[in-house]
Amino acid sequence: MNAERFRIADLVLRGSQDQRVAVAVASPALVLSAFASELYLKCLILIQSARLEHGHDLHPLFKKLESQSQRRVEQKWNEWVSSPERKRIYEALKKISGESIPTDLDWSLRNGGTGFVDMRYLHEVETGPRFLIGDLPQILREETLQHRPEWTSLGHGPMTPVPGFENPMPNNMP
């Protein structure tokens, strides 16, 4: 559920139709995406091996998945990066940077797998991270549901308010 909430928050932020808002929240949204991926990977590892994992780097977490899960996620990733929209994005990045960026999941995880930490501290580094895995949480969600199909509708029904917080914004607040 935690992974799902961070995935949804990321989608809400990146889904803004106002270009100014979209630009302003791009980095925070990608932090949410990176964290959602981390939580989905840890959930899958727990389901598959009954082990609790720690750390934020997505690459070693991904390598701890069962090989069948890794193959399914890679297959979905390959479908995703071969879409016309993604191809346009990679071409635009090539024009900006002057170099081709690999599209394989292994490269993306090795170069962007520490995005949860890196993007929170962008102000401390000279060059930004190569976090091109912003839509990975959706693929990991699908893989999680392969193992737990009963979780499909969790968290998407009406929310029960916490007693005393039924109205989070009092009428006298601006």
How far is Cα 114 from Cα 96, in angstroms, rounded to an integer? Answer: 23
Q: 17 by DSSP, 3-state: which?
A: coil
* DSSP H or E stretch at residue 154: none
pLDDT digits (tens, 9 = 90+) for 37-79: 999 999 999 999 999 999 989 999 999 999 999 999 999 999 9
pLDDT digits (tens, 9 = 90+) for 80-117: 999 998 899 888 888 888 888 888 999 999 988 887 77
The mean pLDDT value of the chain amounts to 83
Is the pLDDT at 2 greater than 70? The verdict is yes
DSSP class of residue 161 equals P
Q: Which residue has the higher pLDDT, 127 or 33?
A: 33
Cβ–Cβ < 8 Å for 93, 153: no
The C-alpha angle with vertex 136 and arms to 12 and 152, in degrees rounded to 5, equals 70
Percent of the chain with pLDDT over 70: 80
Please name which of 80, 82, 66 lies closest in space to residue 143, comparing C-alpha atoms. 66
Is the pLDDT at 4 greater than 50? The verdict is yes
How far is Cα 6 from Cα 93, in angstroms, rounded to an integer? Answer: 26
Residues 23-42 have a mean pLDDT of: 89
Q: Specify the pLDDT at position 171.
A: 46
